[in-house]
Amino acid sequence: AGPRPLAGRSVLITAGGTVERIDPVRYISNDSSGKMGFALAEAARASGADVTLICGRTDSAAPSGVKAIKVNSAVEMYEAVMERLPQTDVVIKAAAVADYRPKETADHKIKKSAETISLELIRNPDILQSIGEWKSGNKGSNGLFVVGFAAETTDVERHAVDKLNRKKCDLMIANDVSREGAGFGSDTNIVSVYDTRGLVENMPQMSKREVANRIMELIAQRLPMKGSGV
């Protein structure tokens, strides 16, 4: 690969945590800062790609030189991602998407009343799974290359390989988020990369930008040639 190995490629990246509203002043979210997704966006841009970044809640502004689209909930992120797949060559799902959302969102601030109240949660769409299904469905699959993340605290390898297969990804980046210097909020990460044949590599602790650069190299090596009709 040359110095701009992703020139002419369109890369879609999700970053940050989704926000699932309970009422106008309260929500369910998670500790994702967006740093990993932002680092991937910068690395993809530096590799020459045309980058679209779909951001949930993040701690800082999106990098320059990329097309950033702000969303709130998992449902909004699902719509923003799915509508862009036909024009996308590579999708990287670094966002931490809530698996559940409140069944009802109250129009007004919920008042304090009983000693205990219950919040009923319903399943969100699994965006990565839907991308995999879209890809394996026939029309318009355009050789889309799918990269997932797996944030795990136990049995990291088993869960990551299971997610790779179930969600029909080409690469899975496994994060043991219980480790110091890895996962949510930190400036560094420690990841292992899997493809459909098994372990590709274990990366040592590195800055999220270095991790992102290496992920871009692994993607560039595996992309089908443009126009090869795959």
Binding residues for CTP: 99, 109, 125-128, 149, 163, 167
Query: Quick one: which of 127, 156, 220, 223 contacts ligand PMT (CB under 6 A)?
Result: 127
Show the binding pattern over residues 31-70: x = contacts ligand PMT (CB under 6 A), - = does not: -xxxxx----------------------------------
Nearer to ligand PMT, 11 or 177 (CB): 177
Tell me if 151 contacts ligand PMT by CB under 6 A: yes
Tell me if 102 contacts ligand PMT by CB under 6 A: no
Nearer to ligand PMT, 133 or 217 (CB): 133
Q: What is the DSSP letter of 39?
A: H
In contact, 221 and 193? CB cutoff 8 Å:
no
Region of 5-13, 105-113, 175-183, 220-228 interacting with ligand PMT (CB under 6 A): 175-183
165 is catalytic: no
3-state secondary structure of 229: coil
Query: Quick one: which of 184, 203, 205, 218 contacts ligand PMT (CB under 6 A)?
Result: 184
Tell me the closest approach of the beta carbon of residue 30 to ligand PMT, in angstroms: 8
3-state secondary structure of 185: coil
Tell me if 128 contacts ligand PMT by CB under 6 A: yes
Binders of ligand PMT in range 3-32 (CB under 6 A): 32
* Sign of the dihedral defined by the CA atoms of residues 189, 183, 192, 217, in that order: negative
In contact, 51 and 13? CB cutoff 8 Å:
yes
Interstrand relation of 67-70 and 10-15 (parallel, antiparallel or unpaired): unpaired
**Alpha carbon distance 15, 38 (integer Å):** 7
Query: Quick one: which of 41, 71, 74, 212 contacts ligand PMT (CB under 6 A)?
Result: 74
> What is the radius of gyration, based on Cα positions, of the chain?
18
Q: What is the DSSP annotation of 112-164?
A: P-SS-----EEEPP-HHHHHHHHHHSSTT-TT-EEEEEEEESSSHHHHHHHHH
Nearer to ligand PMT, 13 or 48 (CB): 13
Tell me the closest approach of the beta carbon of residue 24 to ligand PMT, in angstroms: 24
**Alpha carbon distance 160, 29 (integer Å):** 22
Specify binding-site residues: 99, 109, 125-128, 149, 163, 167
In contact, 14 and 94? CB cutoff 8 Å:
yes
Q: Which residues here bind ligand PMT, judged by CB under 6 A? A: 32-36, 74, 93-97, 99, 124, 126-128, 148-151, 163, 175, 177, 183-185
Report, as residue numbers or ranges, the catalytic residues. 30
